[in-house]
Amino acid sequence: MNNDETIIKVDNIKKSFKVYYDKGHTLKERALSLSRNKYEKRNVINGISFEVKRGEAVGLVGHNGCGKSTTLKMLTRIMYPDSGNISIKGRVSSLLELGAGFHPDMSGRENIYINASIFGLTTKEIDERIPEIIEFSELEDYIDNPVRTYSSGMYMRLAFSVAINVNADVLLIDEILGVGDVNFQAKCFNKLMEIKGTGTTIVLVSHSTAQIERICDRSIWIQDGLIKLEGSPIDVHREYLNFMAKQREEIQEEEEKAAAERNKAALHNSQNEAVEIDNVDILDSDNQSRRVFRIGDSMKLSVNLRANEKIQDYFIELNLVRADGVFCYGCSSAADGVKCEPWSGNKIINISFEDLKLLSGKYHFDLHVAAADGSTIRFVGKIIEFQVIAPESERGMMYIKHEWNME
């Protein structure tokens, strides 16, 4: 077997679609729009070229609408490029859309025969492999039921089981491995690694960079219909995730500015309160206002309070809460030994947090001004919100520095 042999060759392909304007909702509006027939030509693929060797697994990454799924559909010949060429050697098997090609009124067994024959298997070959297909799908008790009675996970199991048992030279997968329970996903991954070892070429489209890193030898980042970067998955994904993080930061900053204005107005609707909040901000290490942070950043919460009467014998608590309501951290001036002097009028409270260890998510701060006996003087929830962006591979609530060592 020659592993240097090129199995897939994509040469400068381009693809565009016609996006028609609204033709109206009533019969009259549609009749009037017939003569216009206006549309916008949208370029999805703008000249992509790449090659895939025998036994190589390649991942396609990029944001929604970048063209990666369109590229995969052209590889399967579901659609064709407007220009350029695609050549593929050998039998092709694909998992593009959940249940694609399944007839809902036919049983799982009957759909196995239909799908496997589409992939090029003869009836005799299907007869020989159907026990293995059914066993892998774990659908023995349901295989003779109509597939319209199947859940999405059962659809995925059946589709995957057929696709991997046709002895294809090329396997094309689009965003389907996230369906099903954890055990079956692990089973799918193990099977993919097994068939990859036999020399099957794999092209995988996924939003999960961790998934691609487990399976693929190379990643191709598609951006605006062009290849922006290709190489080892870890290197490509680092650049891709940094790029996406910057885009999210820009969008989030705009959203947070609007939210900050709404919060500011809401904070002033606290008439006749002993303590009011005039302003809240979060600053970065350069004292610049920010609402999006990355793991390891420093932040300073600045709260401008106003006491409408003299406040004595009090302490201040601060709670950090994730958007789903999970309590993450709490601190108080009393616990930290910070003395709170009697106070009336304005007071600015600054609380600094170094080396932020929170993982990706949206968070907010709650503020509690309490009397010495613990009774509430003023409590305000969600005084300000912010977002943390961390590597996708990290899981949980916080990052703990660690190092692997295997002997």
Q: How do residues 243-271 score in pLDDT, each as one tens digit?
A: 887 787 777 677 766 766 666 555 555 45
Q: What is the pLDDT of residues 129-180, one digit of tens each?
A: 999 999 998 999 999 999 999 888 888 888 888 888 888 899 998 876 655 6
Sign for the CA dihedral angle at 217, 221, 227, 229 comes to negative
Q: Is residue 264 classed as helix, strand or coil in its secondary structure?
A: helix
> 23 and 158: one domain?
yes
- Residue 337 covered by a domain: yes
> 155 and 228: one domain?
yes
Q: Is residue 108 classed as helix, strand or coil in its secondary structure?
A: helix
- Residue 400 covered by a domain: no
> 40 and 118: one domain?
yes
Flag whether pLDDT at 192 surpasses 90.
no
The CATH number linked to 294 is: 2.70.50.60
Band of pLDDT at residue 397, cut at 50, 70 and 90:
confident
Q: Is residue 29 classed as helix, strand or coil in its secondary structure?
A: helix
- Residue 357 covered by a domain: yes
The phi and psi torsions of 180 (rounded to 5 degrees) equal 105, 170
- Residue 94 covered by a domain: yes
- Residue 98 covered by a domain: yes
C-alpha 174/C-alpha 91 separation (Å) is 18
- Residue 188 covered by a domain: yes
Task: Supply 182's token pair.
Answer: 């954890």
Band of pLDDT at residue 191, cut at 50, 70 and 90:
confident
- Residue 13 covered by a domain: yes
C-alpha 173/C-alpha 207 separation (Å) is 12
The CATH number linked to 100 is: 3.40.50.300
Flag whether pLDDT at 392 surpasses 70.
no
Closest CA to 371 of 316, 314, 318, 332: 314
> 149 and 58: one domain?
yes
> 19 and 93: one domain?
yes
Band of pLDDT at residue 387, cut at 50, 70 and 90:
confident
DSSP string for 166-206 = S--SEEEEES-TTSS-HHHHHHHHHHHHHHHHTT-EEEEE-
Q: What is the pLDDT of residues 172-190, one digit of tens each?
A: 988 766 556 677 878 888 8
Flag whether pLDDT at 98 surpasses 60.
no
> 129 and 275: one domain?
no
Closest CA to 153 of 185, 192, 130: 185
- Residue 217 covered by a domain: yes
Residues 6 or more apart whose Cβ sits within 8 Å of residue 242: none
Do residues 85 and 230 lie in contact, with contact meaning Cβ atoms separated by under 8 Å?
no
Question: Pairing relation of β-strands 314-322 and 327-332?
Answer: antiparallel
> 27 and 164: one domain?
yes
- pTM value is 0.62
> 201 and 346: one domain?
no
C-alpha 113/C-alpha 125 separation (Å) is 10
Which of 24-34 are b and which e, b meaning 16 or more Cβ less than 10 Å from the residue's Cβ? eeeeeeeeeee
> 219 and 291: one domain?
no
Q: Sheet harboring 275-283: ordered strands across?
A: 275-283, 299-311, 343-353
Residue ranges making up the domain that contains 14: 6-243
Closest CA to 83 of 172, 11, 3: 11
Task: Quote the pLDDT of residue 127.
Answer: 92
Give me the amino acid identity at 350.
N
Do residues 367 and 302 lie in contact, with contact meaning Cβ atoms separated by under 8 Å?
no
> 225 and 273: one domain?
no
Task: Count the domains in the chain.
Answer: 2
Element (H, E) at 301: strand 299-311
Q: Which residue has the tokens 């396997």?
A: 171
Question: Pairing relation of β-strands 361-371 and 376-389?
Answer: antiparallel
Q: Taking phi first (over 0 means left), then psi (-120 to 50 degrees means alpha), and beta for anything else, what does residue 155 get?
A: alpha
C-alpha 399/C-alpha 293 separation (Å) is 14
> 19 and 124: one domain?
yes
> 99 and 42: one domain?
yes
